[in-house]
Structure 1
Amino acid sequence: MQNSDDRGLDPGVFWPALIVAAGFVGWGVLSPDSLASTSTAVLNWIIRAFGWSFVVSTAFFLAFAVFLAFSRFGRIKLGHDDEKPEFSTISWVCMMFSVGMGIGLMFWGVAEPIKHFGSPPHGLAVPQSREAALVAMQYAYFHWALHPWAIYAVVGLALAYFSYRRDLPTLISSAFHPLLGDRIHGPIGRTIDALAIIATLFGTATSLGLGAQQINSGMNFLWSTGESSTISLTIIGVLTVVFIMSAVSGVGKGIQFLSNMNMIIALILLAFLALVGPTVFIMDTLIEALGLYISDLVAMSFRTSAFSDGKWLASWPIFYWAWWISWAPFVGVFIARISRGRTIREFVIGVLLIPSAVTFVWFTIMGGTALYSELVGPGGLVEAINAKGEAVSLFALLEQYPMAVFTSSVAMFLVAIFFVSGADAASVVMGMLSSRGTAHPRPGIVVLWGLLAGASASVLLVMGGLNGLQTASIIAAAPFLVVMVGLCVSLWKGLMDDIEVHGHFENLDPHTGGVREDHL
């Protein structure tokens, strides 16, 4: 068990990560053009040389998580044998969904299906046709359902297992104990944790940038404020203060309350669209698009640039896989923290299937309603996105239905709350990673990482808008992808060691996940 005296700031993790983060912000402030050109060059090299690795690794993470859930490892409890889950299942699902996806779903729920409808992936359909609409939903499911949650599940599972069953600190480096032993406390382990902080910082910054752009579009829709970098930067500044205040209040008071509240509001907004929108078309779309997604899942999972559009792959699946990977340290730490006491099987099924089911419903209602508008009327969403950008898509859709001002205000409020809850959790987790895994990092450290996340989002918006946000995600995720592959190897070794120590699988109690008393 970790000694409480060892839970202060870890200089070997904190200072390298801080230097990189502060250096990036300083570079962006002093010479944004130089930062933009360098980032673009690095991005092009990563995509050209290692784009395939994102594709293969993400498919592997999904297969690995499913195998662990349905193997006899699934009985093992993420904690001591007599522990019960801290949070109810409903709160557990709401918190991990809100933190893991929130802003992204609000931003892309309408925009992605419409983008694919106007320009179908890999030329699989005639643009703006019924076939294009079906392909658009299929690929929206592909980018947002099982694959991203498998990335989160692998990291969260490893952290929960080593932290709560092996009583190691809640750090990414702790998951490497079977491979590194006590060296997890040395330079190698500290490098792993510093990379996790950097990935988290830029993944968070990407989400904050998207949220600020969408709130700006909503303000312009409601009050004709105009859309500009200045307004977006002001939004980031105001909400950064709010999420820092939430972060220092603790998980029970801050994140849990916000997550439960915004999930309720989001479901009300979805129900409104489902009822006033094309209800039958939405149900038909869900059934047919889900069937197509399942039937083509393997082929989509392994598509590379060898025989496909490399530019499209970089802009969509590789960007998404990188974004999820850059979020994986903080979402993994967070869902591990709220999942103590659950079995591996319960954890994986919950993390993979429940959020994915909500994602299917979300995109079907949001995207399906938008596609119906394009196919039947009044349309205009493709032109709105092409003219004003993806951030305007949700408000352009809501404008076509009753109470547009009210629903747009609700949507803008939702984006703001998702902004706060996601950044809240990220700031706490970065504080944990730089403070030897303590569940309650010092408020000053949490505030510092929150400020740097907001500053990084501001730099990325000025540097290149959406393209700048995508570039940062992929670059930050590349080194952490290597860490994640090693983490899977280490988790496998740790589980095998657990079985060797406790005896055969049959000795595990299927109800508690622990060793049956008659086999001790």
Structure 2
Amino acid sequence: MNKSKGTSVDRFIFWGTLVMLIGIIVPIVLFPEESQTIVAKLQAGALDGFGWGFLVFTFGAFIFCIFAATSKWGKVKLGEPDDKPEYSTFSWCAMLFCAGQGSSIIYWGVIEWVYYYIGPPPGIEPMSVEAANVSTALSFFHWGPSAWAVYCLPALPMAYLYWKRREPVLRLSQTCQGVIPKKNLDGMTGKVIDLVILFVIVASYIATLGLGTPMIATGLEVLFGVPQTLLTKLGIIVVWSMIFIQSVYKGLDSGIRKLSEWNVYVAFVLVGLVFVFGPTSFILNKTSDSFAIMLGNYFEWSLFTDVVGQNGFAKWWTVFYFAWWIAIAPFMGLWVARISKGRTIKEIVVAEMIVGTLGGYTVFASLGSSGLHQQIAGVVDAVAILQNQGPTYAVAAILTSLPLGKVLLFLMISTMFLNLATSVDSTAFILAALASNGLKVGEEPVRWYRVFWAVAIVAVPIAMIIVDASLSTLQAFTVLAAIPIVFLMIIMTVSFVKMLKEDEGLSFSEIIEREEKKECLINK
């Protein structure tokens, strides 16, 4: 793996991100209630006013990615004609999946159906047979190909620019050069775009990490009687910080790749044990039902805002989910691009939209269906536990009600531990690359800078947990940032199509020669 030499920190992006973070987090810490009220109103306004935009954009991404994979462009190789993939298909998919879903998918895989069961879409009675039928199908939809298409959209132009045109920067601003003049993107315009992207990446992953800690704390309480104190939560963060800092220090091949592989292995064991020792027949039948219901409602759920009925389900679930995927998409675009040398456009689309989707479906089919079975069979009242004790206790109760329950809960918190570590690893790597100058194609950012961003991502949730500040406020900020990202990704997609048409019929060496001439003209 290539190490960086002669690189430097982009001070504008670095200091700009820190200033923006401090400017957002300090008011949240000092005025938590006021901040939460204001941001909640802004978030509700964004979901109401631009909900249609999030839905239409996501559906458009779904259509475009299918077109890109099945057209003649799908065969375009990202790199030189004789370039081989840097990673095996399993390692590549593991790093891609772990970065895209993190610890969230295991948590929501167990509990999400409960929320849909007690608060279903309009026209369905809560806790009815119909609500039970639709509950797991909605998870298939929200975590399915539409979400992965949004992730895929920025990955395609970034990977093409990085490996095919040999643009020596991992910056999404540069993917807009088919629409915005490159001279502007090399200047302040590009820096501002990358600054906003970097801030959104940091904010979204801080929120994710902070929300994952309570589940691990609950698991430790149920399994080992460890009380849920401030010290416990801080201890959890510190321990997994030591794991991922070591991993990010080692780099892509020695650290992040291996951690991602172990993450997938443990998750497979968890899901496999639930499937084999749990209600296997029910899981298979419910998966078939869920898939059928999702397919039958796919287009309606993709575009329905419920503007007349105002039930709230579409707004706070579908629209919110799609906005969240859009906010995280820039990170995924950069990450997938970086690890996809030697792959084709079709391979990226297939890995994300099919492999990523099937991985998620496996989790929801096994964990979600078994939880619903336990509720219907009267083994555990997950609804009552959720309403009276909270979601983390409901998750623990569902898993421990199954055969090998405590083993399953231990595997779950282990998986979440590894997931949190791999999420921070990949995020810190991309943040360091995004805010570095002088990186050549294939090089890694310097070690101290990767470690710095890993520590920064951890330090903020630690501070917010200590002062008991709400991480949901930071989460809402991330959703607000999804609005400008929609327009940015539209520009990126238009630029990507222009690049493909421009390069059609040219050899790799001809493309590089032309790009070098263009760069010389810009620098004169």
Q: TM-score, normalised by structure 2?
A: 0.90
Q: Tell me how far 1:390 sits from its aligned partner.
A: 2.2
For the residues of structure 2 that align with 1:328 and 1:458, how far apart are their CA atoms?
Answer: 25
2:185 pairs with 1:184: yes
Which residue number corresponds to residue 450 of structure 2? 446
Which residue number corresponds to residue 13 of structure 1? 13
Q: In the comparison of the two structures, how many residue pairs are matched? A: 499
Aligned pairs for 1:412-427 (under 5 A) are 412-427=413-428
For residues 221-256 of structure 1, give each alpha carbon's deviation from its aligned partner in whole angstroms, at most 9, with x where no partner exists.
Answer: 123334456643443344334322321210111111
Going from structure 1 to structure 2, the CA distance change for 1:458 and 1:32 (only over 3 Å counts) comes to farther
Matched residue type, 2:379:
P
Which residue number corresponds to residue 24 of structure 2? 24
Going from structure 1 to structure 2, the CA distance change for 1:502 and 1:443 (only over 3 Å counts) comes to closer
Going from structure 1 to structure 2, the CA distance change for 1:238 and 1:477 (only over 3 Å counts) comes to farther
Most deviating of 297-306 and 466-475: 466-475
Which residue number corresponds to residue 311 of structure 1? 312
Please point out which of 446, 469, 476 is paired with 1:471.
476
Q: Is the 8 A contact 2:29 2:464 kept in 1?
A: no
Which residue number corresponds to residue 394 of structure 2? 393
Secondary structure of the structure 2 residue equivalent to 1:346 = helix
Q: Tell me how far 1:437 sits from its aligned partner.
A: 7.5
Q: Identify unmatched segments of 5+ residues in structure 2.
A: 509-524
2:489 pairs with 1:484: yes
Which residue number corresponds to residue 410 of structure 2? 409
Going from structure 1 to structure 2, the CA distance change for 1:51 and 1:463 (only over 3 Å counts) comes to farther
Q: Please tell me the root mean square deviation across aligned C-alpha atoms, in Å.
A: 2.2
Matched residue type, 1:18:
L
Going from structure 1 to structure 2, the CA distance change for 1:470 and 1:357 (only over 3 Å counts) comes to same
For the residues of structure 2 that align with 1:397 and 1:35, how far apart are their CA atoms?
Answer: 35
Which residue number corresponds to residue 129 of structure 1? 128
Q: Tell me how far 1:450 sits from its aligned partner.
A: 2.2
Most deviating of 126-135 and 196-205: 126-135
The percent identity for this pair of structures is 29
Q: Tell me how far 1:423 sits from its aligned partner.
A: 0.8
Which residue number corresponds to residue 244 of structure 2? 243
For residues 276-334 of structure 1, give each alpha carbon's deviation from its aligned partner in whole angstroms, at most 9, with x where no partner exists.
Answer: 11111111111121122122111111011413546333322222222222222222211
Aligned pairs for 1:121-520 (under 5 A) are 121-123=121-123, 125-168=124-167, 169-180=169-180, 181-227=182-228, 231-309=232-310, 311-436=312-437, 438=439, 439-458=443-462, 465=470, 467-468=472-473, 470-499=475-504
Matched residue type, 1:446:
R
Most deviating of 329-338 and 430-439: 430-439
Q: Is the 8 A contact 2:241 2:458 kept in 1?
A: yes
For the residues of structure 1 that align with 2:121 and 2:33, how far apart are their CA atoms?
Answer: 31
Q: Is the 8 A contact 1:202 1:476 kept in 2?
A: no
Going from structure 1 to structure 2, the CA distance change for 1:384 and 1:323 (only over 3 Å counts) comes to same
Which residue number corresponds to residue 76 of structure 2? 76
Q: Is the 8 A contact 1:25 1:459 kept in 2?
A: no
Matched residue type, 2:84:
K
For the residues of structure 1 that align with 2:505 and 2:6, how far apart are their CA atoms?
Answer: 31
Q: Is the 8 A contact 1:65 1:153 kept in 2?
A: yes
For the residues of structure 1 that align with 2:460 and 2:52, how far apart are their CA atoms?
Answer: 28
Matched residue type, 1:300:
W
For the residues of structure 2 that align with 1:308 and 1:8, how far apart are their CA atoms?
Answer: 54
For the residues of structure 2 that align with 1:231 and 1:39, how far apart are their CA atoms?
Answer: 29
Q: Tell me how far 1:183 sits from its aligned partner.
A: 2.1
Which residue number corresponds to residue 518 of structure 2? none
Most deviating of 260-269 and 231-240: 231-240
2:103 pairs with 1:103: yes
Secondary structure of the structure 2 residue equivalent to 1:178 = coil
Secondary structure of the structure 1 residue equivalent to 2:87 = coil
For the residues of structure 2 that align with 1:149 and 1:285, how far apart are their CA atoms?
Answer: 23
Q: Tell me how far 1:490 sits from its aligned partner.
A: 1.3
Matched residue type, 1:167:
R
Most deviating of 370-379 and 43-52: 43-52
Secondary structure of the structure 1 residue equivalent to 2:250 = coil
Which residue number corresponds to residue 509 of structure 1? none
For the residues of structure 1 that align with 2:474 and 2:21, how far apart are their CA atoms?
Answer: 15
Most deviating of 45-54 and 163-172: 45-54
Hey, which bits of structure 1, 4+ residues long, moved more than 4 A?
458-466, 500-503
Q: Is the 8 A contact 1:68 1:344 kept in 2?
A: yes
Most deviating of 142-151 and 384-393: 384-393
